């Protein structure tokens, strides 16, 4: 079966013994064909789709897939994931976000990695690879995903759990191109006046393949709503405004990065007429500022990792753009404190023209940056991730619990910064 056209991503495929479908939130798969009974050729993307997963010469290609199996109990099933790893020799690997896929779940909420897998060359495609995955399923229904999926359904369920906290309010930050609500979670101690606090605004999942961002932000929220003494201090010192999913249409459609307009949302922030997601979020920011409120910190989260990982990268603005010396010194201190709590984090200056991070400073005056981190450890310094090296090294993915736990480290860093940065 081949799915024709990038918009037509929801389907049901009747195999000889099982049913495979993507007709749910975040469901997607490019192509699937039953090679023999319970052996499936899978392509996470169509060949033509690869060309614009990340449009533009300076961007990396990536993808997602997420599908459901019905009738799989006691069946050993093999998936052959055909991967066109690069378009050109020097391209970053198409699997830069997660080479250790997939994960599986019996309830769509709790996920485990599939360990029985191997890497072979694809005889049909030059430089192509096939990741061979085998799993015997214990239940009749299971979900298979590229990595731990962070979906709008999950976010809605999570909001139902936290919304009654006295420290939490749920707001609408904007609307997507297809008129889905972009949820914003605000956390603070509401009994302490706003004027005594810093305002920190966080965004995530502009690029849906970077799913760790959603889980990392959720880990922050878990910590902020806890009884931990540092969390209590954070609520007293800050108002946190957190948007876990910006690109909510693409999350629903199971896209790796692109928006239905084929635009990269993180290049839209300083355009005169950006896509709806960016335009409506900026309207919310503008209204907040118009009320006389500050935006002290603005951080756009992409990937996410754990405290002990060396793949953290802080995309910071060149310090010289902060004209005010006090603010420039605060910015240096913010970077320094984050690195104390995330000790392997590296950083580098980037003007971020058109990016959310650049807009955070140029339009809203915030201490602003992007933060990225992979969900796996990549131990080879100076070399871009590639499948062969990854499999030869036997590297492993970070656990979801560990990724969420790292969210607390950022909150601790910001509390420390509020003490030192003045």
Residue spans of the domains in the chain: they are 12-145, 152-420
- CB-CB neighbours of 354 under 10 Å: 16
Q: What are phi and psi of 197, to 5 degrees?
A: -120, 160
Distance CA 314, CA 336 (A): 11
- CB-CB neighbours of 90 under 10 Å: 7
Where would I find the H helices in 109-260?
Answer: 152-162, 212-224, 229-237, 248-253
In this predicted model, what pLDDT tens digit does every residue of 287-346 receive, in sequence order?
999 999 999 999 999 989 999 988 899 999 998 899 899 999 999 999 999 999 999 999
Q: Are 54 and 67 in contact (CB under 8 A)?
A: no
* Tokens linked to 388: 């062969």
Residues near 249 by Cβ (< 8 Å), separated by ≥ 6? 176, 177, 178, 180, 259, 260, 277
Give 55's pLDDT tier (boundaries 50, 70, 90).
very low
Beta bridge partners of 169: 186
Q: Are 166 and 264 in contact (CB under 8 A)?
A: no
260 CB-side CA count, 13 A: 16
Give 422's pLDDT tier (boundaries 50, 70, 90).
low
The pTM is what? 0.93
- CB-CB neighbours of 313 under 10 Å: 18
For residue 225, the SS3 value is: coil
For residue 96, the SS3 value is: coil
Q: Give, as one character, the DSSP assignment of residue 127.
A: T
Q: What's residue 179's pLDDT?
A: 96
Beta bridge partners of 2: 31
Whether residue 375 has pLDDT greater than 90: no
- CB-CB neighbours of 59 under 10 Å: 16
Q: What's residue 9's pLDDT?
A: 64
Distance CA 406, CA 371 (A): 13
In this predicted model, what pLDDT tens digit does every residue of 201-220 receive, in sequence order?
999 999 988 889 999 999 99
Whether residue 382 has pLDDT greater than 80: no
CA distances from 48 to 5, 241, 358 (A): 9, 38, 32
Dihedral over alpha carbons 191, 194, 197, 203 (to 10 degrees): 100
Q: Which fold has domain 12-145?
A: Immunoglobulin-like (2.60.40)
Whether residue 52 has pLDDT greater than 50: no
CA Rg value for the chain: 21
Beta bridge partners of 66: 28, 145
Q: What is the mean pLDDT of residues 68-91?
A: 86
What architecture is domain 152-420? 3-Layer(aba) Sandwich (3.40)
């Amino acid at each position: 079966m081949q799915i024709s056209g990038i918009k037509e991503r929801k389907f049901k495929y009747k195999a000889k013994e099982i049913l495979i479908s993507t007709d749910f939130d975040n469901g997607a798969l490019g192509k699937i064909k039953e090679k023999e009974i319970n052996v499936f050729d899978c392509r996470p993307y169509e060949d033509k789709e690869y060309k614009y997963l990340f449009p533009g010469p300076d961007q990396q290609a990536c993808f997602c897939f997420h599908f459901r199996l019905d009738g799989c109990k006691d069946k050993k099933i093999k998936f052959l994931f055909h991967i066109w790893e690069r378009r050109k020799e020097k391209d970053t690997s198409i699997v830069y976000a997660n080479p250790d896929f997939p994960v599986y779940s019996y309830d769509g909420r709790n996920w485990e990695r599939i360990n029985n897998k191997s890497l072979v060359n694809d005889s049909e495609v030059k430089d192509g690879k096939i990741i061979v995955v085998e799993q015997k399923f214990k239940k009749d229904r299971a979900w298979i995903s590229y990595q731990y999926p962070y979906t709008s359904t999950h976010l809605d369920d999570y909001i139902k759990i936290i919304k009654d906290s006295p420290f939490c309010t749920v707001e609408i930050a904007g609307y997507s191109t297809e008129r889905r609500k972009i949820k914003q979670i605000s956390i603070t101690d509401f009994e302490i006046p706003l004027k005594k606090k810093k305002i920190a605004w966080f965004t995530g999942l502009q690029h849906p393949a970077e799913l760790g961002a959603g889980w990392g932000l959720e880990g922050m929220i878990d910590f902020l709503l806890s009884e931990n003494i540092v969390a209590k201090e954070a609520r007293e010192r800050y108002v946190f405004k957190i948007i876990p999913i910006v690109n909510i249409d693409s999350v629903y459609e199971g896209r790796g990065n692109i928006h239905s307009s084929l635009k990269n949302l993180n290049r839209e922030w300083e355009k005169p007429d950006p896509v709806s997601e960016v335009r409506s979020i900026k309207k919310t920011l503008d209204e907040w500022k118009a009320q006389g409120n500050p935006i002290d910190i603005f951080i756009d989260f992409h990937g996410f990792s754990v405290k002990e990982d060396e793949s953290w990268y802080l995309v910071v603005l060149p310090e010289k753009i902060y004209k005010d010396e006090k603010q420039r010194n605060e910015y240096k201190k913010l970077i320094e404190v984050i690195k104390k709590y995330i000790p392997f984090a590296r950083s580098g200056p980037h003007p971020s023209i058109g990016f959310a991070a650049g807009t955070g400073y140029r339009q809203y005056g915030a201490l602003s940056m992007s933060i990225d981190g992979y969900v796996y450890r990549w131990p080879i310094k100076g070399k871009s991730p590639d499948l062969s090296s990854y499999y030869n090294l036997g590297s492993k993915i970070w656990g979801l619990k560990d990724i969420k736990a790292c969210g607390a480290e950022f909150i601790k860093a910001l509390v420390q910064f509020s003490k030192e940065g003045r």
